[in-house]
């Protein structure tokens, strides 16, 4: 089985800091290679893989702003489809744009839909609905207008997350600094519980940060530590009392939620999008409907067993499980001829 793994090129694969799509693409690629699958990763030239690497873009355009995203995305996608005959299957992790190439090749294309950035992209998915295959990353993120071959939850590299049995003394916000992620709400929850809040993640909306976040960041009760890499991520997640995830949108998955639980740190989240699928209420976290309930949940989260949080991730969100699920998808597609 020869797989062309088409990854995004906003960041390096695997990412140095932020880059959730790149991270999942990397974990899947490396997991498939370990199982003996012939995988060629199409990513940035500075990417790292034990498989074969093919690259056009020298680096991620978010890391090198001299690169025009449209130009390099165009060249990058063309690279894989011009070589389509060399592969049994193309796995698209690049969103909707590669679908417009899929009708030009005979090689089957499976697309992991990592989320719908806007309803305006649906016409592309609808056009290629019967020609290609779609995988959702949660049941909650499925569009009723599309057909899906499977739902495959993301897996994480469990060996890079350390289970810590004792809860820390701070609350944690871990994600993009953006209204969608509920950074402002996390501050309000922390202030009302009189607990320290550590905030980690890239600033995606500068105006939002300057108006809603920065005025409260004092370096003591509210700390913003920026984006963190894998080693620091493990420490920041594991040493927290709880992860606050008061999202304002229907999140397709939520890697940080699973990573937190892998460290034993339970999650307090609003029940939007995939959260009810990922969080088992009272087992690995608490689902709350508003800030008032979140404040109350902070006092109850200590009753969550941190070992149970880790065990839940081991059973449901390992890289090995993700890889096996995708291999089943590949075999179904290729079995149809």
Say if residues 307 and 165 touch (Cβ distance below 8 Å): yes
User: Do 137 and 167 share a domain, yes or no?
Assistant: no
User: Do 132 and 181 share a domain, yes or no?
Assistant: no
Range of the domain at 24: 2-155+318-335
Confidence check: pLDDT of 45 > 70: yes
User: Do 109 and 198 share a domain, yes or no?
Assistant: no
Using alpha carbons, select from 94, 99, 107, 95 the residue that is nearest to residue 6. Answer: 94
Strand 109-113 and strand 170-174: pairing? unpaired
Confidence check: pLDDT of 109 > 70: yes
User: Do 77 and 108 share a domain, yes or no?
Assistant: yes
337 band by pLDDT with thresholds 50, 70 and 90 = very low
User: Do 73 and 176 share a domain, yes or no?
Assistant: no
Confidence check: pLDDT of 285 > 50: yes
Backbone angles phi, psi at 243, to 5 degrees: -95, 130
230 band by pLDDT with thresholds 50, 70 and 90 = confident
- Non-local CB neighbours of 310 within 8 Å, separated by 6+ positions: 163, 261, 262, 263, 264
User: Do 122 and 84 share a domain, yes or no?
Assistant: yes
User: Do 165 and 311 share a domain, yes or no?
Assistant: yes
102 band by pLDDT with thresholds 50, 70 and 90 = very high
3-state secondary structure of 45: coil
User: Do 301 and 329 share a domain, yes or no?
Assistant: no
Beta bridge partners, 92, equal: 6, 111
Packing angle, helices 183-193 and 291-300, rounded to 10: 50
User: Do 20 and 122 share a domain, yes or no?
Assistant: yes
pLDDT (tens digit per residue) in 177-226: 999 999 999 999 999 999 999 999 999 999 999 999 999 999 999 999 99
Q: Structurally, how many domains does the chain consist of?
A: 2
37 band by pLDDT with thresholds 50, 70 and 90 = very high
User: Do 30 and 64 share a domain, yes or no?
Assistant: yes
Whole-number Å distance between alpha carbons of 59 and 61: 6
User: Do 140 and 255 share a domain, yes or no?
Assistant: no
User: Do 44 and 55 share a domain, yes or no?
Assistant: yes
Confidence check: pLDDT of 88 > 60: yes
Extended beta strands in the chain, E state: 2-6, 38-42, 52-54, 89-92, 109-113, 133-136, 150-151, 170-174, 196-200, 222-224, 240-245, 267-269, 285-287
Whole-number Å distance between alpha carbons of 198 and 232: 13
Could you tell me the CATH number of the domain that includes residue 233?
Answer: 3.40.50.2000
């Amino acid at each position: 089985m020869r797989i062309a793994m088409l990854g995004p090129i906003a960041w390096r694969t695997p990412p140095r800091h932020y880059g959730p799509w790149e991270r999942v693409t990397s974990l899947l690629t490396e997991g498939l290679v370990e199982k003996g699958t012939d995988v060629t990763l199409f990513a940035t030239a500075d990417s790292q893989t034990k498989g074969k690497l093919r690259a056009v873009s020298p680096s991620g355009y978010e890391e090198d702003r001299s690169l025009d995203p449209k130009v390099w995305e165009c060249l990058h996608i063309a690279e894989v489809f011009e070589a389509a005959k060399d592969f049994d299957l193309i796995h698209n992790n690049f969103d909707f744009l590669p679908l417009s190439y899929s009708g030009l090749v005979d090689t089957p294309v499976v697309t992991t839909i990592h989320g719908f950035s806007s309803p305006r992209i649906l016409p592309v998915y609808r056009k290629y609905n019967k020609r290609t295959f779609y995988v959702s990353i949660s049941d909650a993120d499925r569009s009723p207008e599309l057909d899906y071959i499977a739902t495959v939850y993301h897996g994480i590299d469990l060996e890079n997350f350390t289970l810590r049995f004792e809860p820390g003394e701070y609350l944690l916000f871990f994600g993009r600094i953006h209204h969608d992620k509920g950074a402002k709400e996390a501050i309000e929850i922390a202030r009302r519980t009189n607990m320290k809040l550590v905030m980690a993640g890239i600033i995606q909306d500068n105006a939002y940060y300057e108006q809603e976040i920065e005025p409260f960041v004092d370096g003591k009760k509210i700390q913003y530590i920026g984006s963190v890499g894998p080693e620091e991520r493990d420490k920041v997640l594991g040493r927290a009392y709880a992860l606050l995830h008061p999202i304002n949108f229907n999140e397709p998955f939520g890697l940080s939620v699973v990573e937190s639980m892998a460290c034993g740190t339970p999650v307090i989240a609003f029940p939007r999008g995939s959260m009810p699928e990922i969080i088992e209420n009272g087992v690995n976290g608490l689902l709350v409907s508003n800030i008032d309930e979140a404040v109350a949940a902070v006092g109850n989260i200590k009753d969550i067993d941190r070992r149970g949080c880790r065990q839940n991730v081991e059973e449901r969100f390992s890289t090995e499980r993700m890889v096996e699920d995708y291999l089943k998808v590949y075999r179904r597609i290729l079995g149809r001829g």
